[in-house]
Every structure is written in structure tokens, then in C-alpha cells.
Structure 1
């Protein structure tokens, strides 16, 4: 049985993870971390990662980017593998994760959906062939409680495209103005916020007289929890290093 610690345990994703873990006899939650505990759980819930005393096989983090550095420090000190699904990480935190991966296994993805990560493979396959003639744009939609824009997933898709191009594109975050040139060298990222949309990402390739669209729609948060749990089970048995969803897909 894999013993799991949930960071952000009482947030939306933390609650979905609790439900999925409870339904799997091979998994159990031994502790949670949440800055603002609201309810009594069947396991201890701490306000900071430094308070953790429980032994575990892996930590899953769906929290807030501001708390990730302290979590990384605690995981290194306690030798806990760490799955980071929190978005909006700044460059200092990303660099910290890279250093920490020399000591513990760390799995980082801006989107834990298996479908999104298969989409990435498709984007990387077709983008080089379209680079010379097609404008590339990404439109993402999320619920009105999402704090960061563009989404981490939109940036993940954009970076995946750019990694395959002979001349990486410059990101443009929305457009306004009266005399825009809209050159092929730009890649536009556009954010929509409203209602309870779990997540929708559309990648648009617009060329002369033809358009290609690849779209992923999340119908519930269950897909992110499912992917995070697969990542956790995978990571618990890995040596120190940095891992992502492509590593998980490649071993399937």
C-alpha cells in the first residue's frame, strides 16, 4: 500500500484526491497539509510541511505556488518523493525544484491529465511542418476562481510547440491595438475566465485558406486526480531526479 501525504488537502483537488484514494485499497492518506484547515479529517492535517512527522511513500501537491518552496525544503529534509501539480511557479521555485531533484525524486507537470500530455505529443509532431506558413494561437478557458493567467497548461502547450521549432516564437498575452502586424514569429495566448469551467485548451494553426484546431476539454477534476495518482505511484519507486508526464507515458 502506498502511503500518501496531500498538500492542499482541503482545496478542490485535495478533496477529489481524497475520494479517489479512499476508493483504491492500494492507496491511503497518512497526513495532509493546508494553510487554512476547515474540517476534521481521518488523518492529521498540518498548517506547514515542517510539522510533518508521518512516514510516507510520496507527497502530492495541489496547493498555492507561494507554499511550494517550504514544501520542497521539508521533502528534502524528510527524504520524501514529491509530485508538484501546482501552477504559477516562479523561476526561483523552478530552480529550487531542479536542485532538490539531485536528492529526491520530483515529478512536475502543469497538467496531470493524460489526455493533455498525449496532445503535447501530437503538437510536437505537427508543429515543425506548419512553422513556415501558419500562425499559431492558444485559447484557454477556466472557472472564475482561477488566479493565474494564462494557465500553466497553456504555457506547457506553448513551450512544447516552441521546443520543436527552428525559430521559437515570442509569446503575446492577449492582443489589443489598432495597427497590429500579427507576424508568424508570435504565438498568442488568450485567457477566458467564467463560471465553473474545469479547463479547456484549444491550439489553433491558421494558414492560408485552411485552419487546424486541436482541442482538449476537461469535463471534471477527476482526470487531474487520476493522473496525479498515477504519477505518485510511478514516482515512489524512482531514484532521485526530475520527472514529468512524458516519463510516465513512456513507461506505460
Structure 2
């Protein structure tokens, strides 16, 4: 049993992956945390969709919370996560950046105020090795915009060809891949004779690693349930 003065032990799924290495580096710089692959207080999973079921089973069997940062998950994966959250605390995060979490709240507010007369386009750029598109973060922002409008997400992605009339109320997505870009996201509200652009540019993966540790700290001691980075933000606000 962990005591309050002991570091939070982190078990990493896919420790040798990009995010696994970044989180391990962040832990080295933060004495409030330690890596313990066998007896973690929290599991952090930034792996691949096909590893999800094993990660959830491990969290339930060990009776520890889990943060799922894997993107590219389908509807069936979402159902598995919801089911697991009945037995364990699960934080699902398409992006663990605190800045992105706040951006999503701003996007929802802007969509609510500006209304359907303003077209919404989301452009995202990532490194050449990213395998899913649109990015999980872009979809998170799209859902935030749809939530602000009080509708389900209707997206237009990968436009190609001619005679492509824009669907009224649709939210457009554009995905760019190249280089070593950690993640750039621009949400454009295009209105009559003016534009509002809300942006977030990640300079390196350490922002996601530090956000993941904030999520891990939040999860310790939480009852079973499905949580998000917005819950982490609210907890931080309460302590401020």
C-alpha cells in the first residue's frame, strides 16, 4: 500500500515507444514519480489499438487505474473502455496536453457563440510516422466544436475531386504528415468577412508526458469510472 510521502509508481505499456520514453524522461526529472513496471500504482498505455484489451485486463486484475493515451481506436474499443471503467478508474485521453484540453474548451465556447453561420475547419500536422488520420486530437477538437453547437459530429475529411460543395454545418478536417512535427492543430472559424483561428503547437513530446503524469496523479485513489483530461483540469483548478 502506497503512503502519501512515497512517489507514485508508474507502469508503462510500450515503454520503448516514443511516448513511453518521453514519460520515463519526465519521471527522471520529477521525484514525485517512479517507474515500476511490475507494481505500478497507475498504468499508462500509449501503445497501439491491438494492445488495448490486454492493458485493460491488466488494470482490472491488478485493481489499479489506467490512462489510455492510444489513438486510432474504433467504436468497439470505446465500448471496451466503457465496460472496463465499471471495474477500474480509466482516463481516456486523445491528447494529454493541458494546453490542448483548454483549447478544446475554447473551441466549444466559440462554436456555441458563433453558430452555424461560421464554417469550421480543423488542420493538423504530425510527423511522417503517424499512422492514423485525422489525428485523435483533431477529432477531439471536432467533437468539442460539435458539442458547442449541440449536434453530433458531421465531418468532411480528405476532400478530393471537383464539384465538392461544402455541406452546411459540416466540420472539415485536413491532415498533413512530414518531418518530426510533434503535433500542430489549428481550428479555423470562417465567417462572413472575418476569421477566428484557435491554435496549439507542440514543440516536443514532453508536454504530453508531463500531462500524462498530471493524469496519473489525478487517477490515484479514484473510484471506478470513465474520466477525461477535463476532469484533470478541474482538479487542478480546485487546488489553485
Partner Cα distance (2:13, 2:67) in 1: 10
Partner Cα distance (2:181, 2:230) in 1: 26
CA RMSD of aligned residues (A): 1.1
| Alignment size in residue pairs | 230
TM-score normalised by length of structure 1: 0.88
Contact 2:184 2:202 in 1 (8 A): yes
Contact 2:182 2:202 in 1 (8 A): yes
1:57 CA displacement: 0.7
Contact 1:135 1:183 in 2 (8 A): no
Q: 1:155 is matched with which residue: 135, 139, 156?
A: 139
Equivalent residues in 2 for 1:24-103, closer than 5 Å: 24-31=30-37, 54-103=38-87
1:166 CA displacement: 3.8
Partner Cα distance (2:154, 2:219) in 1: 34
Unpaired stretches in structure 2, ≥5 consecutive residues: 1-6
Which residue in 1 is equivalent to 2:12?
6
Which residue in 2 is equivalent to 1:249?
233
User: What are the Cα deviations for residues 155-187 of structure 1, in whole angstroms up to 9, with x where unaligned?
Assistant: 000011111214445201121221121133211
Residue aligned with 1:164, SS: helix
Partner Cα distance (1:6, 1:141) in 2: 26
Contact 1:169 1:185 in 2 (8 A): no
Contact 1:134 1:184 in 2 (8 A): no
Which residue in 2 is equivalent to 1:174?
158
1:130 CA displacement: 1.7
Residue aligned with 2:82, SS: helix
Q: Does 1:217 align with 2:201?
A: yes
Which aligned segments of 4 or more residues in structure 1 are displaced greater than 6 angstroms? Answer: none
Q: Does 1:108 align with 2:114?
A: no
Which residue in 2 is equivalent to 1:186?
170
User: What are the Cα deviations for residues 115-150 of structure 1, in whole angstroms up to 9, with x where unaligned?
Assistant: 001001111111122223111110000000000011
Which residue in 1 is equivalent to 2:107?
123
Partner Cα distance (1:10, 1:168) in 2: 37
Partner Cα distance (1:100, 1:132) in 2: 37
User: What are the Cα deviations for residues 166-214 of structure 1, in whole angstroms up to 9, with x where unaligned?
Assistant: 4445201121221121133211111000000110000011111111111
Unpaired stretches in structure 1, ≥5 consecutive residues: 32-53
1:66 CA displacement: 1.1
Partner Cα distance (1:167, 1:237) in 2: 34
TM-score normalised by length of structure 2: 0.93
